[in-house]
């Protein structure tokens, strides 16, 4: 059993806050929302304060943000169908590029660990892969039409050049480079409703997903030649559903985050609730049990949750009520 | 069901979900009579009645049929539901016309009999030839036999129309090049033969991109002009008495044929009445329970001298028509008096983006590119918008690898990969001898006999077209989460 203690409540956004995103060193939190702005928060003493507001670039909701692996670039995606690339190498964040091409709302963005590729997805059912050239120009490397509905999130594998995406079509799809283009090579089906978010554990061998069906699922990669005898194709691993956690949220689960430091899984739900799960290993294999829950984490839907990459147990969450909270988990 | 349309079209709102506010607003057609007051009454069973105030008569109004034209004019709800889009554009329509013809001939109603003309694209022919292990000429003869056995009257090859399309494209490019300092959006000229690309440009980039697109019609639509205008004159009939069907590698061609620009208000007929995909023709042969190999061969129709002796001809420059090859060769000769035995295509960021240049004394005089597939379209469009496009001409095609890989082509059989099949189709397509369009004396003759000269107004109307920005509807109900 653990507990979550509220460390700070960050106010400033004037509309719902869609997403929280820690920078790679865990010192800055980017939040974005319906007020069309991105706020960057940093710690001063025991308080978290708003250091920068990025605005006047997107015409509609900013839905998601992602930091580049070097921490110098921030990608922002918006319902105005554009992707903004902000660069702070000149000292202050400036919007250096606006990527166009999505037909309508862009929902999610993710940087590849190499820093050379960026993935975006949206309501037009496509996943876009952008390649960053030597002159820091972004070019469209591929447009993937694998999903049959709105794509909610994209996520790069931590170690391999493969990309996951999850969608309103209830599936998770896996994409890889094939020659000079990208192709979708596996579809994971088990959720019975929209898959809202996915995350990897620290090894990249397991993945967690959350859904409108109010369940959280754990997936395992089975490598070619695995001892369980799971069939694989070529050199690619086959992903299979390992276990399902249900009964903890009474409404849609909007986001999930798997801590690379502690192995804890945090979930955020439309029932205003935050849950933290920890893994137990017994004779039948790993199971996940509820470690703690905050029933009324926010006054409205919790849209996003993310563990700090460097500070153990530090968790950020955001809500339709317009506030962002920072929590400390302890045993 | 996987959509057959190109990626570009799938992206632009070909979406099965129709929000309530976008439901079709054309439920009934009201006959307009000037100067009278009318009223419409709604019956309890949901039908609409038009009330004639003077006569006191109530007339039941028919539901209006929604055609592809109406859908294209609305940016809202074109759906990928095949039954909606394709009803007018499938083999059922051709069978319906043939059946009606047979009936009318039987009862001696000769003025109601359509002349049925089939125009087959070289890409479709190569795809079918590959499937059935036939040479191109054999496939052409068997297709002619197949369609004539069904009751069609004439079977043509669209390569002849492509001669015109290539000639007009290269002339247009040279004209734009010469005007490049006088007109803002003269260059780069973007090829216009691909309807997926044109439809995408109209719907997403509108007035910014459209001026760059060549006004030259595609081979399909030039074939339409040729058949409905010139051929009807030759036959001594009128355009609406011809039912013109094309066989295409591409589903997007069905949308192209339905454009308002290609409809004649005078004769109330379209230049192309029906577009069949390669796959649909194959399905027809299965429906007739006859393999293409077993069809009796029939000599090819040569009304337009589109054959070279007894042989078919093709064009250099690949399976998408060879626009880049022809434009750059023609321009190099016209503008700089240069000729080349071979052009060197350099692959850039991917296999579907290739560049070719004209150089003299180390100086680049012309720079042109092939950009196939949606990702390359994106990069071309974005560079144009940023003012960073270095090209003079770009051959844009919506399908990766180009038209031989169109959505309407025969799919790979079991045990063959898409790449392998495409390679085979490409080899078959390339096995036909090539000829430069200006070497075709029949084309030169038609510029005089049919069009009244290369610079005439009739020539412009028959071989060129317009593009129209499609406004997006923006309202709160459109937003989906």
Over residues B287-315, the pLDDT tens digits come to 888 888 889 898 778 766 566 666 688 89
Across the range B154-162, mean pLDDT stands at 90
- Are A181 and B204 an interchain contact pair (Cβ–Cβ within 8 Å)? no
Contacts of A141 in chain B (CB under 8 A): 375
Contacts of B466 (CB under 8 A, 6+ apart): B215, B261
Question: What is the nearest CA distance from A295 to chain B, expressed in angstroms?
Answer: 25
Closest CA to B147 of B136, B156, B138, B158: B156
CA pair distance B11, B6, nearest whole angstrom: 9
Interface of A with B in 233-262 (CB under 8 A): none
Chain B interface, mutation test: which of A79, A139, A149, most B Cβ atoms within 10 Å? A139
DSSP class of B230: I
Contacts of A125 in chain B (CB under 8 A): 10-11, 15
At B77, the pLDDT band (50, 70, 90 cuts) reads: very low
- Are A143 and B480 an interchain contact pair (Cβ–Cβ within 8 Å)? no
- ∠ CA A262-A263-A264, nearest 5°, is 90
Whether B479 has its CB under 8 Å from any CB of chain A: the answer is yes
Distance linking the first and last C-alpha atoms of chain B: 24
SS3 of A244, please? Answer: strand
Q: Half-sphere exposure of residue A245, counting CA atoms within 13 Å on the CB side?
A: 25
The backbone torsions φ and ψ at residue B265, rounded to the nearest 5 degrees and listed phi first, read -70, -30
Closest CA to B162 of B192, B187, B138, B141: B192
Whether B348 has its CB under 8 Å from any CB of chain A: the answer is no
SS3 of B209, please? Answer: helix
- In terms of DSSP bridges, do strands B274-277 and B242-248 run parallel, antiparallel, or are they unpaired? parallel
Pair of tokens at residue B310: 């007894």
DSSP class of B226: I
Contact A30, A38 (CB under 8 A): yes
Contact A289, A282 (CB under 8 A): no
Whether A124 has its CB under 8 Å from any CB of chain B: the answer is yes
Whether B25 has its CB under 8 Å from any CB of chain A: the answer is no
Contact B191, B176 (CB under 8 A): no
- Are B349 and A79 an interchain contact pair (Cβ–Cβ within 8 Å)? no
CA pair distance A114, B30, nearest whole angstrom: 63
Closest CA to A60 of A78, A44, A47: A78
Interface of A with B in 54-113 (CB under 8 A): 79, 99-101, 103, 105
**Residue position matching structure tokens 């029932």:** A271
Chain A interface, mutation test: which of B2, B3, B11, B204, most A Cβ atoms within 10 Å? B11
Chain B interface, mutation test: which of A180, A194, A233, A270, most B Cβ atoms within 10 Å? A180
pLDDT at B360: 85
Contacts of A234 (CB under 8 A, 6+ apart): A224
pLDDT higher than 50, residue B83: no
Pair of tokens at residue A198: 């996915």
CA pair distance A178, B435, nearest whole angstrom: 36
- Are A140 and B350 an interchain contact pair (Cβ–Cβ within 8 Å)? no
pLDDT at B1: 31
**Residue position matching structure tokens 């040479």:** B135
pLDDT higher than 60, residue B65: no
Which helix (H) or strand (E) covers residue B85, if one does?
helix B82-86
Buried/exposed A254-283: b ≥16 CB within 10 Å, e otherwise: bbbbbbbebebbbbbbbbbbbbbbbbeeee
Residue B475, burial from CB neighbour count under 10 angstroms (0-12, 13-18, 19+): exposed
pLDDT at B80: 45
Distance linking the first and last C-alpha atoms of chain A: 6
The backbone torsions φ and ψ at residue A191, rounded to the nearest 5 degrees and listed phi first, read -65, 145
Of A143, A150, A180, nearest to B7 by CB-CB distance is A143
CA pair distance B345, B342, nearest whole angstrom: 9
Pair of tokens at residue A209: 């997903």
pLDDT at A93: 93
Contacts of A103 in chain B (CB under 8 A): 11-13, 204
Task: List C-alpha distances in Å: A53 to A12, A107, B87.
Answer: 10, 21, 53
Residue of chain B minimizing CA distance to A60:
B479
**Residue position matching structure tokens 């006191």:** B56
CA pair distance B438, B442, nearest whole angstrom: 9
At B51, the pLDDT band (50, 70, 90 cuts) reads: low
At B37, the pLDDT band (50, 70, 90 cuts) reads: low
Which helix (H) or strand (E) covers residue B353, if one does?
strand B353-360
CATH code of domain A3-330: 2.130.10.10
The packing angle between helices B91-106 and B278-287, to 10°, is 50
**Residue position matching structure tokens 């900013």:** A62
Contact B352, B400 (CB under 8 A): yes
DSSP class of A98: E
The packing angle between helices B323-336 and B159-178, to 10°, is 40
SS3 of B382, please? Answer: helix
DSSP class of B86: H
- Are A140 and B400 an interchain contact pair (Cβ–Cβ within 8 Å)? no
Whether B441 has its CB under 8 Å from any CB of chain A: the answer is no
**Between residues A264 and B259, which one has the greater pLDDT?**
A264
- Are A142 and B11 an interchain contact pair (Cβ–Cβ within 8 Å)? no
Which helix (H) or strand (E) covers residue B10, if one does?
helix B7-11
Whether B145 has its CB under 8 Å from any CB of chain A: the answer is no
Chain B interface, mutation test: which of A34, A103, A124, most B Cβ atoms within 10 Å? A103
Pair of tokens at residue A5: 């203690």
- What are the domain boundaries of chain A? 3-330
Per-residue pLDDT of chain A (331 residues; tens, 9 = 90+): 798 989 999 999 999 899 999 999 999 999 999 999 999 999 889 889 999 999 888 988 999 999 999 999 999 999 999 999 999 888 989 898 999 889 788 999 999 999 989 999 998 889 999 988 877 779 899 999 899 888 999 999 999 999 999 999 999 999 998 888 898 999 999 999 999 999 999 999 899 999 999 999 999 999 999 988 998 989 899 998 989 999 999 989 999 999 999 999 999 999 999 999 999 877 777 789 999 999 989 999 999 999 999 999 999 999 999 999 999 999 8
Contacts of B462 (CB under 8 A, 6+ apart): B222, B225, B226, B229, B450, B451
Question: What is the nearest CA distance from A105 to chain B, expressed in angstroms?
Answer: 8
CA pair distance B340, B85, nearest whole angstrom: 45
Question: What is the nearest CA distance from B253 to chain A, expressed in angstroms?
Answer: 21
Whether B375 has its CB under 8 Å from any CB of chain A: the answer is yes
Contact B51, B33 (CB under 8 A): no
Task: List C-alpha distances in Å: B273 to A26, A148, B88, B178.
Answer: 63, 31, 9, 38
Chain A interface, mutation test: which of B375, B388, B390, most A Cβ atoms within 10 Å? B375
Whether A142 has its CB under 8 Å from any CB of chain B: the answer is yes
- Are B11 and A141 an interchain contact pair (Cβ–Cβ within 8 Å)? no
Pair of tokens at residue A70: 């070097």
- Are B378 and A181 an interchain contact pair (Cβ–Cβ within 8 Å)? no
Torsion sign over Cα B194, B199, B201, B207: positive
- Judged by average pLDDT, the poorest of A133-137, B281-285, B394-398 is A133-137
Q: How many CB pairs under 8 A join A and B?
A: 44
CA pair distance B135, B148, nearest whole angstrom: 20
Of A105, A145, A150, nearest to B7 by CB-CB distance is A145
């Amino acid at each position: 059993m653990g507990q979550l203690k509220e460390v700070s409540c960050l106010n400033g956004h004037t509309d719902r806050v869609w997403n929280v995103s820690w920078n790679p060193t865990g010192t800055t939190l980017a939040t974005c929302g319906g007020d069309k702005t991105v706020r960057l928060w940093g710690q001063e003493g025991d308080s978290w304060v708003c250091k920068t507001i990025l605005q006047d670039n997107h015409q509609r909701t900013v839905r998601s943000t992602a930091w580049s692996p070097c921490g110098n670039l921030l990608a922002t995606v918006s319902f105005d169908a554009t992707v903004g690339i902000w660069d702070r190498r000149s000292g202050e964040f400036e919007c250096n590029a606006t990527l166009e091409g999505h037909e309508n709302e862009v929902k999610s963005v993710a940087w590849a660990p190499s820093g050379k590729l960026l993935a975006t997805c949206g309501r037009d059912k496509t996943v876009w892969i952008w390649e960053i050239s030597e002159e820091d120009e972004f070019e469209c490397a591929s447009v993937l039409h694998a999903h049959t509905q709105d794509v909610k999130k994209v996520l790069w594998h931590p170690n391999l050049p493969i990309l996951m995406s999850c969608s309103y079509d209830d599936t998770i799809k896996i994409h890889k480079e094939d020659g000079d283009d990208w192709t979708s090579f596996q579809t994971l089906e088990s959720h019975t409703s929209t898959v809202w978010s996915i995350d990897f554990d620290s090894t990249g061998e397991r993945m967690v997903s959350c859904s409108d069906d109010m369940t959280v699922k754990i997936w395992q990669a089975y490598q070619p030649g695995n001892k369980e005898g799971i069939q694989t194709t070529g050199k690619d691993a086959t992903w299979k559903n390992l276990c399902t956690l249900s009964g903890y949220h009474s409404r849609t689960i909007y986001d999930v985050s798997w801590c690379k430091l502690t192995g804890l899984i945090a979930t955020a739900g439309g029932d205003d609730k935050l849950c933290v799960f920890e893994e137990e290993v017994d004779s039948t294999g790993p199971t996940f049990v509820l470690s703690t829950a905050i029933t009324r984490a926010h006054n409205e839907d919790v849209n996003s949750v993310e563990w700090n990459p460097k500070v153990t147990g530090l968790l950020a969450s955001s809500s339709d009520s317009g506030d962002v909270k920072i929590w400390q988990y302890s045993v | 069901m996987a959509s057959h349309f190109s990626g570009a079209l799938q992206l632009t709102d070909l979406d099965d979900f129709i929000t309530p506010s976008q439901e079709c607003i054309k439920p009934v057609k009201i006959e307009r009579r000037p100067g009278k007051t009318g009223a419409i009454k709604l019956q309890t069973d949901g039908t609409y009645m038009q009330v004639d105030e003077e006569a006191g008569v109530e007339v039941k109004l028919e539901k209006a049929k929604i055609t592809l034209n109406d859908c294209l004019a609305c940016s809202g709800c074109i759906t990928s539901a095949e039954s909606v889009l394709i009803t007018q554009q499938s083999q059922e329509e051709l069978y319906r016309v043939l059946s009606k013809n047979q009936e009318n001939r039987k009862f001696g109603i000769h003025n109601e009999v359509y002349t049925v003309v089939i125009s087959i694209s070289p890409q479709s022919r190569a795809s079918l030839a590959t499937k059935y292990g036939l040479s191109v000429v054999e496939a052409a003869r068997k297709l002619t036999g197949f369609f004539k056995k069904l009751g069609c009257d004439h079977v043509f090859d669209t390569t002849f129309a492509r001669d015109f399309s290539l000639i007009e494209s290269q002339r247009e490019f040279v004209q734009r090049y010469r005007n490049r300092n006088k007109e803002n959006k003269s260059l780069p000229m973007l090829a216009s033969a691909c309807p997926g690309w044109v439809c995408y440009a109209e719907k997403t980039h509108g007035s910014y991109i459209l001026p760059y697109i060549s006004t030259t019609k595609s081979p399909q639509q030039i074939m339409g002009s040729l058949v409905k205008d010139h051929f009807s004159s030759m036959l001594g009939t009128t355009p609406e008495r011809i039912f013109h069907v094309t066989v295409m590698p591409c589903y997007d061609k069905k949308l192209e044929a339905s454009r308002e620009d290609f409809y004649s208000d005078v004769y109330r007929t379209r230049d192309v009445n029906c577009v069949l995909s390669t796959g649909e023709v194959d399905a027809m042969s299965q429906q007739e329970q006859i393999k293409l190999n077993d069809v009796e061969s029939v000599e090819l129709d040569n009304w337009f001298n589109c054959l070279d002796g007894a042989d078919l001809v093709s064009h250099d420059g690949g399976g998408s028509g060879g626009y880049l090859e022809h434009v750059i060769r023609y321009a190099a000769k016209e503008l700089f008096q240069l000729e080349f035995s071979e052009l060197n295509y350099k692959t850039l960021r991917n296999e579907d983006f290739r560049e070719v240049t004209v150089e003299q004394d180390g100086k680049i005089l012309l720079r042109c590119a092939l950009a196939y597939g949606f990702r390359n379209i994106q990069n071309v469009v974005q560079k144009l918008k940023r003012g960073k496009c270095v090209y003079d001409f770009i051959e844009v095609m919506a399908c990766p690898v180009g038209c031989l890989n169109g959505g309407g082509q025969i799919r790979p059989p079991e045990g063959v990969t898409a790449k392998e099949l495409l390679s085979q189709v490409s080899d078959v397509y390339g096995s036909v001898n090539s000829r430069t369009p200006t070497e075709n004396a029949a084309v030169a003759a038609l510029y005089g006999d049919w069009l009244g000269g290369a610079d005439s107004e009739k020539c412009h109307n028959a071989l060129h077209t317009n593009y129209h920005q499609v406004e997006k509807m923006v309202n709160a109900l459109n937003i989906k989460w």
